[in-house]
Structures are given as C-alpha cells and as structure tokens.
Amino acid sequence: MKGKIFMYLFLFALLYIVFQYANVKKTFEVQQQMIADLNLEVDELEAEKDSIIQLNKNNQVEDFTLAGDEKARMYIEDLGYEVEEFKTLLQTKIVAENKADSDNKLVPYSGMNGFMRINGLKIINHKWVLVEFTDGKFWGEAILNYFIEKDGSISFEVNDGFLYGN
C-alpha cells in the first residue's frame, strides 16, 4: 500500500513537472517572439529616425539663410562685402538701435513693462531680417526690410510684427 501511494505521488509529480515544463516553454516562446517583434520595431523606428535626421540636414531651411541662399550671397558679394563680414555689420547695426532710455525704433510695439529691445535676429536673405524683441515681460517677433544704399549705408523698414499674448 505504501509503495502504491509513493508510485501515485511519483506519477502525479511527474505529470506536474511535465505540465509545468510545457507551460514554461510556451511562455518562453511567446516572450521570445515578443522580444523579436519589439526589436524589429526598434530597428524600423531607428531607420525612420535616421531618415528624418538626414532630411533635416538636407532640408530647404538652409536656403533661408544668407549663407545658404546662392542668389542672396552673390548679391552681397557683388556689393563688395564678404558674407560673414556683412552679417556681422548688419547684426551690429540692428542691435545698436537698442537704447538705454528708449524703445528700439525697429520694434513695431512700445514697451509695456520697460523698453523694447531686440535680443535675437536671423538674417533670412539679402532683403529681410527676422528679429525677436522683448521688454522683459512681453515678447514678439518682427520682420524687417533692409536696404543697402549706393553709399554703403544700410537703412531699415519695419515690415510686420506680432506680440505674443502673455
């Protein structure tokens, strides 16, 4: 009788072990398939990210800079300026309009919390400059037209601007 009980216990334990092995094997295979699928998805996303990065490098946005626009660069060079030298000159002239006791005359808005000052700019081409301005609390952007006169002086005209809501 004792031998039969041990035999039944042994068979029950053997069946339990086989069941557990099959269950664990099935779970392991499902997890391996999930890992393979996720690795494939990661590879696809990395390839997509690389192509987006490559597109950004080759993007037309570079054309909207003085150095990236061939025609604008040639226009500046035909006037006798080097592009980098001209960019520095233009930036200096625009920032020099920031006064300690008044608004910058190139900003289309009056300061509400102080005087409006230009604190950043991007030269788009041989005719336009995008400027960012602030009075410390309110800020906005404006596009300026600039003209290179025959005598080499530069004049500015405020084209349009907007003030962000606070």
Per-residue pLDDT tens digits for 27-65: 999 999 999 999 999 999 999 988 888 877 666 556 677
Give yes or no: residues 112 and 37 share one domain: no
pTM, two decimals, is 0.60
The whole-number pLDDT of residue 65 equals 77
Q: Are residues 107 and 84 in the same domain?
A: yes
Residues 156 and 146: beta-carbon distance below 8 Å: yes
Residues 106 and 41 in one domain: no
Q: 148 has which bridge partners?
A: 154
111 Cβ contact list (under 8 Å, min separation 6) = 103, 135, 138
Structural domain tally of the chain? 2
Domain match, 54 and 89 both: no
The CA radius of gyration of the chain, in Å to the nearest whole number, is 35
What's the confidence (pLDDT) of residue 136? 84
Instruction: Give yes or no: residues 26 and 86 share one domain.
Output: no
- What pLDDT, in 10s, does the model give residues 102-155? 888 888 888 888 888 899 899 988 899 999 998 888 889 999 999 988 888 889
Q: Please give the residue that has the higher pLDDT: either 56 or 15.
A: 15
Q: Are residues 66 and 135 in the same domain?
A: yes
Among 58, 74, 104, which residue terminates a domain?
58
End-of-domain residue from the set 58, 85, 103: 58
Q: In which residue are the tokens 């604008």 written?
A: 72
Structural domain ending residue among the three candidates 58, 73, 98? 58
What does the pLDDT read at residue 107?
87
pLDDT at position 63 = 63
pLDDT of res. 166? 66
* Domain span holding position 9: 2-58
Q: Are residues 72 and 19 in the same domain?
A: no
Q: What is the pLDDT of residue 45?
A: 92
Residues 47 and 118 in one domain: no
Is the domain of 146 the same as that of 87? Answer: yes
Please give the pLDDT value at position 67.
Answer: 74
